[in-house]
Structure 1
Amino acid sequence: MEPAQLKTAVMNIVNTSRILVQFMLNQDQKNEARRRRRRQRSDKSDEDMDMDTEFSQTAGPGALEIMLLMGQILSVERRFWARETSTDWWDRIVLQVWDDSQWLQNFRMRKVTFMELCDLLSPALKRQNTKMRAALTVEKRVVIALWKLAMPDSYRSVRNQFGVGKSTVGAAVMQVAKAITELLLQKVVTLGNVDGFTAMGFPNCGGAIDGTHIPILAPEHQGTQYINRKGYFSVVLEALVDHKGRFTNINMGWPRRVHDARIFRHTYSV
């Protein structure tokens, strides 16, 4: 609520309270006068009965009168309260400025792939607008989930990045993951040729992966990063082969001190 509106609301409450107090005082004075007249009469007559009825009807302010007096407060404009957020980074920078290399680095996919993914997930993620607010777009839900899965950021950090609530970030991640499982898992995710591994006794296997040391001379700088657990300098060779031992992917050059999981993540993230 704006300061001017808040001041108006407070003044209305003060004025209404003053009117109610004065109204109650006037009623008490009238009632006290009626009581004195009743005590002055020794015999209760029909006129007294009429006065009692009149007294009971006017002994206090009616509900309608109070509602009319309190009506001044209801005239204050009501507004829904919400935190100020900004989506400029997503709307003006990511969508309009970033190239494919920036998309790959941050979302693990190119922009055209992202748009295709949104089209495929739209039946499960699209929501209707309400009178309270506009629904989060499919693109916004998907990009929030991809950012959270690709980056080690907290929900609070992602919230500030995309101008949404923290609970919205958590909901978007779960909704997108569920939509991918229901709509794309059987359609997109495949293991390639698994028959060869199945015949060898390894069903549902698409390849065999491992790493090995490649000895090198000690680098002039950051040599400690290249010392392996056996005590000599090396880099890592990571290889993927099919059921016949044919190489289908090779990655080489990471220092030996780097964990195998990190090498694997960076090798197949693009």
Structure 2
Amino acid sequence: MVILQVERVAMLLATIMATMMQCYVDGFTVQSNFDFAVNMRRRRRARRQRVLAAALAAVRPGHGERRLRRQPVDDPRQMRPRSLVWWEETALHADARFWKENFRMTRQSFQLLCNTLSPSLQRESSNGLAVEKVVAIALYRLSTPCDLRTIGNLFGVGRSTVCEIVQEVCKAVVSLMLEQYIVWPADDRLRQTIDCFEGKYGFPQCAGAVDGTHIPIIAPKNNPADYHNRKGQHSIILQAVVDDKLRFTDINVGWPGRVHDARWNREINGVLMPIVILGDPAYPLLPWLMKGFSEGVNFDDPKRNFNYRLSRARMVVERGFGQLKGRWRILMRRNDSALLKVPQMVSACCVLHNFCLEQNEGYDDRWDAPDNNQPINVPLNDQDVGSGVDIRNALLRYFS
């Protein structure tokens, strides 16, 4: 009996030992399989890193051992080395045609403009860029429909820098050049203007034509309805007087008081006639502002002839606006700058337009802007003045 119990205990112990050995073997197998999977993943990761490093070394020599870091796409440090090629290696060594197409003037006129603006730009500019580059950025912005990002990429600067530079240059142009280039003609220049209007267009005593044009803007936050025009756009109005050479002689303001100089008066058909400017039907008839006759019941041939002569002479203002917007195309599309900044940009474009004419910078017909002008409701309370009617009737008899 005792021997039988000992054998049963021995068998039980043997079974326990066998079970423990099997568990150990199974655990070792599981652990080995886990370690194998981990090692495989590590080897695959290492292989991918080696392939990436080899590809990176082929594209950027010397950087194969460094780990690639993700950077924002708009980081100017990424864009700048590539962008500087256009300005420093292309524009600065380009021919006259390239400069005329991209900056609307030759290199000689550009340098003269830089010299004129240099005192103001060197004093106020905080970006540390050369004056030539600053002026080039502004001209490129004013003359092309490119956005700020594209211009920044071309010149190797940020978008905010482009915006600041354009405002700085426009401010310098207005402060240093407006009184020199936008002036009412006097003395010999006034006499030449009057003679040209009479000889070329057949209209005596004329010193220019006045009209307005819309400059599209983004809808302002305050009183947006006040800037809403007939075409469903928001805009401000540029009102200007243009002479026979398509130069702007007055912008954004009323008729200068100094033009009423009696020494330029002339008697026509018994009526003492001052110097006049020509307007469209939206303007009132004043002694110094002529407009055509309305086509009514008494619209006869002499009145039709008067309207024809007036319309032919006042086309100079339409052509002036056309060349202004064709040369500085930023005026054709919506200006997203702050409302207080837009008049300064428009004034700078008018000054630069006259500057190009003074430097004999020819206008390229390929720049022509589409005719998107529309009648301007001039906010004047004055209506037809008696003396204005007398002067127009005297001109009517003179033309007949």
Task: State the TM-score bracket (shorter-chain normalisation).
Answer: 0.3 to 0.5
* TM-score, normalising length: structure 1: 0.44
* TM-score, normalising length: structure 2: 0.31
Larger relative contact order, structure 1 or 2 (CA cutoff 8 Å, min sep 6): 2
